[in-house]
């Protein structure tokens, strides 16, 4: 009885065609030979993954040429008569507020007075600016550009940052007349409940009577931090304003500017502009007339 089963199985297996891939044959869809399922796979024989190549960004050209100084006569004249001011403005933006316009400009002027060759300092900021925005090293090396054409190089860097949306004058305005910068900050932080003129006047009166306007301005730094959940750094708000008032005001100005506020038109001007943009976005597009039945 038991001997008839293999014969019947063989009869049916001979009648049916063989399908699938034989165990001992190689897989036509794989370059590797098939292994017995009792054997362990050797990871050393697995094909290596193709290497992932990181492509460096292609340097882009400057927004203006080295000799396009007269395209911005204001910065050209400022750089010609007082290059330390232009350099201070550039350094403050390139350093992202870690150094102030006044400190960088004063150091530039000191190096120029002692050595007569301030380009040994300014050329490093050209390299730093190029690395931040992936700019071409043209027309030659950074040190050579500043060595042979210091004023043109400073003007080009000033225009480059200006074309990228930076307000280059804020550092000097804050250094010479901090009440204006503070008034603009206070109006935005207070959401229009106080005006730029009133806040700036109070700041000036406190500075004139006490010589320490930071006792007023530090509260607006705290208010700004709470509104946007910002870190209390590098130290407490009062200490920041006490030891570096112009730097703190410039940092707060740039913070609001980076969040889309136009500091020159105040709170109400910004809100009017945003309301117009929202109204334009809510208007449905005009559809052309389709086919009509006759």
Residue 257 C-alpha from the chain's centroid: 13
Q: Write the CB contacts of 203 (distance below 8 Å, at least 6 apart in sequence).
A: 178, 179, 182, 183, 186, 213, 216, 217
Q: How many CB atoms lie within 10 A of CB 253?
A: 23
Residues of the chain with pLDDT under 70: 1-56, 171-172, 284-294
Distance (Å, whole) CA 91 – CA 40? 63
Residue 174 is classified by DSSP as H
- pLDDT for 202 equals 95
Convert 156-174 to b/e letters by CB count within 10 Å (16 or more is b). Answer: bbbbbbbeeebbbebbbbb
Structure tokens of 189? 């932080």
- pLDDT for 4 equals 46
Supply the pTM of this predicted model: 0.52
Domain ranges of the chain: 69-168, 173-273
From residue 250, alpha-carbon distances to 91, 168, 180 in Å are: 13, 11, 11
Residue 124 C-alpha from the chain's centroid: 20
Structure tokens of 15? 């009648």
SS3 257: helix
Burial class (CB in 10 A: 0-12, 13-18, 19+), 199: buried
- pLDDT for 209 equals 94
From residue 217, alpha-carbon distances to 103, 120, 259, 293 in Å are: 21, 37, 20, 70
Residue matched to tokens 């065609």? 17
- pLDDT for 48 equals 57
Structure tokens of 17? 């065609």
First and final C-alpha spacing in the chain: 88
Q: How many CB atoms lie within 10 A of CB 270?
A: 20
Residue 70 is classified by DSSP as G
CB of 101 closer than 8 Å to CB of 92: yes
101-115 vs 83-94: helix crossing angle, rounded to 10 = 130
Residue matched to tokens 């399922």? 37
């Amino acid at each position: 009885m038991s001997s008839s089963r293999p014969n019947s199985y063989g009869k049916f297996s001979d009648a049916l065609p063989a399908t699938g891939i034989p165990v001992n044959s190689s897989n036509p869809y794989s370059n590797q030979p098939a292994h017995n399922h009792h054997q362990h796979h050797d990871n050393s024989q697995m094909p290596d993954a193709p290497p992932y190549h990181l492509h460096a960004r292609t340097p882009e050209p400057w927004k203006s040429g080295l000799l396009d100084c007269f395209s911005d006569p204001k910065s050209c004249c400022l750089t010609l008569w007082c290059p330390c001011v232009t350099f201070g403005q550039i350094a403050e933006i390139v350093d992202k507020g870690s150094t102030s316009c006044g400190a960088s400009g004063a150091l530039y002027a000191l190096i120029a007075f002692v050595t007569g060759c301030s380009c040994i300092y300014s050329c490093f900021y050209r390299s730093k600016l190029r690395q931040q925005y992936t700019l071409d090293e043209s027309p030659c090396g950074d040190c050579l550009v500043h060595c042979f054409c210091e004023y043109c190089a400073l003007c080009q860097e000033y225009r480059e940052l200006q074309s990228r949306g930076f307000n280059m004058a804020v550092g000097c305005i804050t250094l010479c007349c901090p009440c204006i910068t503070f008034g603009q900050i206070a109006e935005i932080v207070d959401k229009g409940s106080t005006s730029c003129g009133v806040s700036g006047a109070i700041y000036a009166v406190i500075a004139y009577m006490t010589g320490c306007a930071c006792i007023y301005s530090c509260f607006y730094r705290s208010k700004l931090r709470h509104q946007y959940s910002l870190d209390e750094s590098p130290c407490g708000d009062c200490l920041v304003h006490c030891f570096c008032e112009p730097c703190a005001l410039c940092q707060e100005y740039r913070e609001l500017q980076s969040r889309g506020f136009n500091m020159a038109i105040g709170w109400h001007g910004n809100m009017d502009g945003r309301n117009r943009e929202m109204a334009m976005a809510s208007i449905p597009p005009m559809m052309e007339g389709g086919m009509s039945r006759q």
